[in-house]
Structure 1
Amino acid sequence: MNQPIQHKSAGHAIVETLESHGVKRVYVIPGESYLDVLDGLHDSSIETVVCRHEGGAAYMAEADGKLLDVPGVAMVTRGPGAANAHVGLHTAWQDSTAMVLFVGLIPFEHREKEAFQEFDPKQWFESGAKRVMVLDHPNRASEIVAEAMFAASAGRPGPVVVGLPEDVIKEIVDTPIHPQIPVATGGMTVTDWKSLRDSLLESERPLFVTGGNDWTDEAARELTKWLEEHSLPAAVEWRCEGIVPFDSPSYVGPLGYGRPNFSNGLMEDTDLIVFVGTVPGDVITSGFTGRQNWNQRNFIVTIDTSLRGRSGPISHQITAKPVSFVRDLVRMDLPMRDSWRDWTEGLRKSQEEWSALPPAEPSEGQAKMATLMANLVERLPEDAMITFGAGEHTNWAHRYFPTRQYASMISARNGSMGYSIPSAVAASLNYPGRVVVSIAGDGEFLMNGQELATAAQYGATPLVIVMDNQEYGTIRTHQESDYPGRVSGTQLKNPDFAKFAEAFGGVGIRVEKDADVPAAVEKALATVTEDKKFALIHLIVEQRIKAF
């Protein structure tokens, strides 16, 4: 059916096209370069979330891409605004997250004159985006948006940049709204199905490794059920916990930085790995050193035919997104194998021992992260979510946080600091009925901690834990290893983060003694669940040396 033709500005057509694609929320830092799009949002059903920094807006959109079945959307202005948003693009690129960044540009007629805040979006972004498009013809406004949303989701998901010249988006257009372009999801061929089945039947110690963001909760549940029915184990890519639930008898732990000791040899001990939604990349293979023998068998399930980021042997690639692969896999009925059950139970026992909570009873002296996690986890509802950025503080979440469904852990696999608070805001806005916990280090927190103002403005209610050891801890650890006794450039002097939270309209709780941890956790949870305000626990933990 032909779409009705309406006379509207190109900027308004952009907004209507986003609406037709199911976009519910956009994250913006306003700029005069795209005022007509902002005007279109005024009467739109799309919620406009005004952020405090372009990096925060981009991170929130990237988190939306992980949480939802449509790409996350951010809007920023030209030059400095675009530069600040680049960090979110890099995260989306390395994490394979569907995201569209709209960037206001100088007027078309001012191009190539070194106009105020002029830059070339293609030269800036093409090395780290799936596509970079510039709207040079107003009648193509809706088409360009539809193409951008498609490109972000098709194949291996990723970021797309759309440049919007200030004068072009004000032009009146008479073209219909472009329909949504369907995304191919692939699936198993008969040959794929038989090859995988035969390889599984020949294997004594098979292992599934899940990862990526291209899942649905239903697909994750279907895979978990099938694995459990066949007593097959599943590990998970770094920072992707929750695809197979934390407490599933088939879940055997994370593969990545901070992985449990028992999993160090897992990549070599297994005689078959099926990677689903991810590839054996840098982190999984410990710097491209593990699983490199081409006599080993690896099945890789990904829609990306280029297998970008993979290393080591490939026995067979199945070109499919996880949803289609799982749809076909669950039709595969395999005989029960004692060797599979024994292998899985042994791995599961090691995982349970590693993730067993430390004592909840406080000890004497300085506050401890172990005590906080023990008191927090036992009070969490079943559907609690966790977000975090980068740093040693994240290991506490990897080890102890109970991820029981898909999209219950939202993090940055490119190791991007400053991600914790923006992603927590996005998660809380998308799931207002769920408890969203965010763990930040003191170094990371101040990179985007100002987005607590956004949380307060729009009613987001995350529970933020700032682990304060007065240093950039991860870098300090590397420094001690490579340059022992020569601490340089890693120490911090911090403000009172609890007062910081209070200033933004939340509840701040400063904790220095371990004995005060249980009460702080109880108060913070009551704040976010009953009072519907965000809460922040400023946990002062021990530092390895006295910094000041």
Structure 2
Amino acid sequence: MTLTNEAPAPAPETTTAPASTPATTPATTPVVATGPAARTLSAGHVIVEALAAHGVERTYVVPGESFLDVLDGLHGSDIETVVCRHEGGAAYMAEADGKMFQRPGVAMVTRGPGAANAHVGLHTAWQDSTPMVLFVGLIPFAHRDREAFQEFDVKAWFDTGAKRVMVLDHAERASEIVAEAMFAAMSGRPGPVVVGLPEDVLQHEIDATPHPVIPVAHGGMTLRDTQALAAALAASSKPLFVTGGNDWTAEAAEALTAWLEKHHLPAAVEWRTEGTIPFDSPSYVGPIGYGRPKPTYDLFEETDVLVFVGTVPGDTLTDGFVARQDWSKKNFLVTMDPSLRGRSGPVSSQIVAKPEVFVRDLVGIELEVKPEWTAWTRRMRAEQVAFSTPPSLEPREGRATADTFMAHLVKDLPRDAMVTFGAGEHTNWAHRYFPTHGYASMISARNGSMGYSVPSAVAASLAFPGRRVVTIAGDGEFLMNGQELATAAQYGATPLVVVFDNQEYGTIRTHQERTYPQRVSGTQLKNPDFALMAQAFGGFGVRVERDADVPDALAAALRAIDEERTFALVHLVTDQRVRAY
């Protein structure tokens, strides 16, 4: 299918446009159904019906006059319209939705500035391989290429950072373009898709017959794949599985965990995707990525067979394309991306399959458990347990600490608790101590995007209103999208928001000290009282400066969430230069 941004040949001019057709509409003839079963709707309303048919439960919106007809279609729809305070927040929420569910998250923004603000969420979805569809309202068709108000070239802006960029230039294809966009976002390596919606085209009355959902191929192991993997594992003494990506199901994660435990095999997880293998599984040996503990880095060089499932050994996993580059090593890469984009190091075999299908085939492989596997797994598991055991519950003298906060937080968390966060050194405490159990219990931005914490927590809380959702933000990150607490209050989201406030952009300060020691520049911050901000937005807020006050402050915040059904924020004022590891 070819969708073009070029205008079709213009129709002959008329003095007066028919009353039913705006003078600015493109020169196309809308398809109108006829006969006793005919049903027509505007293209904007058809888009809403198509999204509902694809299982979309909510869309994250910053409104604009460019897509009023879609907003009108959402009125009374079963799709919840979540009105956000910034396009970046809306895009982050949709991206988080795409991580949690087996369908794309959906955001809607307006042209020009709105599209520019949403771009950060697209980059997150691109690098994190998250299925997402961004609908962007555009100028009227007839105004194109005339420097109209907020005009921009949607293809030129987004073509290098999205799987597809499509424009609805023909109203009758409204349902089709939704089906194509959803398919493109989910097929192969998942990612973001952008759909441009010219303002006037949305108002055309068209045949409302829905376009069928386009099935997505899931791949699978061939007989040769199965034999090669089984032989490599049987011959190994130190095998290691590494899970990652966002293309999992909870059932597949559980089945893989059971198979690994049965065979006494170890599994690490990609940076910021913890939970696919549960925190307390005897097979779980820790995260691999930036800021990881050294033992898991050493695993890459020590293991004799690596099986990557749902991800590839990119620069984060290989410490900048350094680790695991010897082509004599055995690496099995399980991914639906035939191009292996982002891969480095050896490829012994590529298995083109989504994780759930690979696991379905894997569990049919029966292997004799080797004593070397048991010893290898137990050794790494012991290191992970020692590393992830929370510090003492006893508060320390002086300034509040993240260690004390995490010790009290994790001790009573329900098993289905979720954690979200964006980027910064504050995230290391979540990596190390937060107990994740099951796929999508950790939602984060692996592209290092700041400002992700609060929007992702709002999306998670709306998606799972019965679960404990915790987001951990740094002081620098929080103010990038902290205003989405207003969205939380408006729609009844109840996350626990924790702000670790060390009055600096800590990650950049760390890099700065390594390269330019004793020359701190451009990283220091002076912050407001975040607890008062939370209260102003309609939630619970408490500021904590002394470590001795941490337990009571956390208890009060959780009590407010449970009894008042509101969000709660704990503002933890910490010392600079304190690290999780």
TM-score using structure 2 length? 0.93
Q: Please state how far the C-alpha of 1:101 moved relative to its aligned partner.
A: 0.1
1:120 maps to which residue?
153
Alignment of 1:500-519 (within 5 A): 500-519=533-552
What is the CA deviation profile of residues 168-199 of structure 1, one whole-angstrom value per residue up to 9, with x for unaligned ones?
00001025111111000000000000000000
Question: What displacement does 1:544 show?
Answer: 4.1
The answer to whether the aligner puts 1:95 opposite 2:128 as a matched pair is yes
How far apart are 1:5 and its partner, in Å?
A: 4.7
1:398-547 pair list within 5 angstroms: 398-544=431-577
1:309 counterpart (342, 350, 357): 342
Give the conservation status (yes or no) of the 8 Å contact 1:389–1:412.
yes
How far does the alpha carbon of each residue in 1:286-327 deviate from its partner, in whole angstroms, 9 at most, with x for none? 000000000000000001000000000000000000000000
Does the 8 Å CA contact 1:74/1:101 hold for their aligned counterparts? yes
CA contact (8 A) 1:33 1:106 kept: yes
Instruction: Establish whether residue 277 from structure 1 lines up as the match of residue 310 from structure 2.
Output: yes
1:435 and 1:528 in contact (8 A); partners too: no
What residue is the counterpart of 1:255 in the other structure? 288
> Quick check: 1:209 aligned with 2:242?
yes
Report the equivalent of 1:42: 75
Q: Secondary structure at the match of 1:357?
A: coil
Please give the secondary structure, in 2, of the residue aligned with 1:530: helix
The Cα shift of 1:529 comes to 2.1
Secondary structure of 2:107's match?
strand
1:388–1:440 contact (8 Å) kept in structure 2: yes
- Match among 407, 412, 437 for residue 379 of structure 1: 412
Q: Equivalents in 2 of 1:66, 1:172: separation in Å?
A: 35
Q: 2:394 matched to which residue of 1? A: 361
Moved >3 Å (runs of 4+): none
The one-letter code matched in structure 1 to 2:51 is L
Q: Partner of 1:131 in structure 2?
A: 164
Identity of aligned residues (%): 71
Deviation, structure 1 residue 369: 0.4
1:397 to 424, 430, 450: 430
1:238 correspondence with 2:268: no
Give the counterpart letter for 1:375 in structure 2: H
In the other structure, the counterpart of 2:258 is: 225
Q: Deviations over 1:138-188 (max 9, x none)?
A: 000000001000000001000000000000000010251111110000000
Gaps of 5+ in 2: 1-36
Cα separation, 2, equivalents of 1:212 and 1:459: 29
d(CA) in 1 for partners of 2:38, 2:471 = 46
AA of the residue aligned to 1:281: G
* Amino acid across the alignment from 1:95: D
Aligned-partner Cα distance in 2 for 1:148–1:352:
43
**Alpha-carbon contact 1:262-1:350 (below 8 Å) kept:** yes
SS at match of 2:159: helix
Partners of 1:418 and 1:437 lie apart in 2 by: 15
* Aligned residue identity for 2:364: R
Secondary structure of the 1:493 match is coil
Structure 2: which amino acid aligns with 1:437? V
C-alpha deviations, 1:195-240, integer Å up to 9, x for none?
Answer: 0000000110000000000000000000000000000000010000
1:296 is aligned, of 329, 333, 345, to 329
Provide the C-alpha distance between the structure 2 equivalents of 1:244 and 1:325, rounded to a whole number of angstroms.
16
Which amino acid in structure 1 is aligned with residue 55 of structure 2?
G
One-letter amino acid of the structure 2 residue matched with residue 79 of structure 1: G
Superimposed CA distance per residue, residues 20-53 of structure 1 (whole angstroms, 9 cap, x where no aligned partner): 0000000000000000000000021000000000
Q: Secondary structure at the match of 1:264?
A: helix
The counterpart of 2:374, out of the listed 341, 360, 363, is: 341
Q: Distance in 2 between matches of 1:500 and 1:98?
A: 33
Change (3 A) 1:493 1:290: same
Structure 1 Cα separation of the partners of residues 542 and 574 of structure 2: 14
- Aligned residue number for residue 6 of structure 2: none
Cα deviation for residue 98 of structure 1 reads 0.2
Partners of 1:320 and 1:529 in 2: how far apart? 42
Q: Alpha carbons of 1:19 and 1:5: their partners in 2 closer, same or farther (altered >3 Å)?
A: farther
- Aligned mates of 2:352, 2:38 — CA distance in 1: 39
Partners of 2:441 and 2:38 in 1: CA distance: 42
The answer to whether the 8 Å contact 1:435/1:529 transfers is no
Shift of 1:69: 1.3
Aligned residue number for residue 109 of structure 1: 142
Distance of 1:332 and 1:78 partners within structure 2: 52
Which piece of structure 1 moves more, 45-54 or 258-267? 258-267
Corresponding residue number in structure 1 for 2:30:
none
User: Counterparts of 2:504 and 2:261 in 1: how far apart (Å)?
Assistant: 43
Q: Counterpart of 2:352?
A: 319
Number of equivalent positions = 543
* Alpha-carbon offset, residue 417 of structure 1: 0.1
Letter in 2 for 1:201: A
For the structure 1 residues 342 and 544, does the alpha-carbon distance in structure 2 shift closer, same or farther, using more than 3 Å as the test? closer
CA distance in 1, matches of 2:496, 2:577: 27
Q: Which residue of 2 aligns with 1:11?
A: 44
- For residues 1-80 of structure 1, the aligned pairs below 5 Å read 5-80=38-113
Q: Distance in 2 between matches of 1:492 and 1:418?
A: 16
Residues 544/290 of structure 1: CA separation in 2 closer, same or farther (3 Å cut): closer
SS in 1 for 2:350: strand
Q: What are the superposed Cα offsets for residues 79-109 of structure 1, whole Å, 9 maximum, x if unpaired?
A: 0000000000000000000000000000000
**Displacement of 1:331:** 0.6
Counterpart in the other structure of 2:17: none
Distance 1:154 1:274 in 2: 22
Counterpart CA distance in 2 for 1:117 and 1:331 is: 56
After TM superposition, the score normalised by the length of structure 1 is 0.98
SS of the residue 2:369 aligns to = coil
Equivalent residue letter for 2:127: Q
1:220 maps to a residue whose letter is A
Over residues 368-401 of structure 1, what are the superposed CA-to-partner deviations in whole Å (9 max), with x where a residue is unaligned? 0000000000021111000000000000000000
Moved more, 166-175 or 184-193: 166-175
**Aligned partners of 1:263 and 1:176: how far apart in 2?**
54
Measured in 1, the distance between the counterparts of 2:563 and 2:323 equals: 48
Q: Distance in 2 between matches of 1:262 and 1:191?
A: 33
Tell me what 1:350 maps to: 383
Residues 103-137 of structure 1: per-residue CA shift (max 9 Å, x gap):
00000000000000000010000000000000000
Q: Secondary structure at the match of 1:265?
A: helix
Q: What CA distance in whole angstroms lies between the structure 1 residues aligned with 2:566 and 2:508?
A: 34
What's the RMSD between the two structures over aligned residues?
A: 1.0
Q: CA deviation at 1:543?
A: 2.0
CA contact (8 A) 1:364 1:515 kept: yes
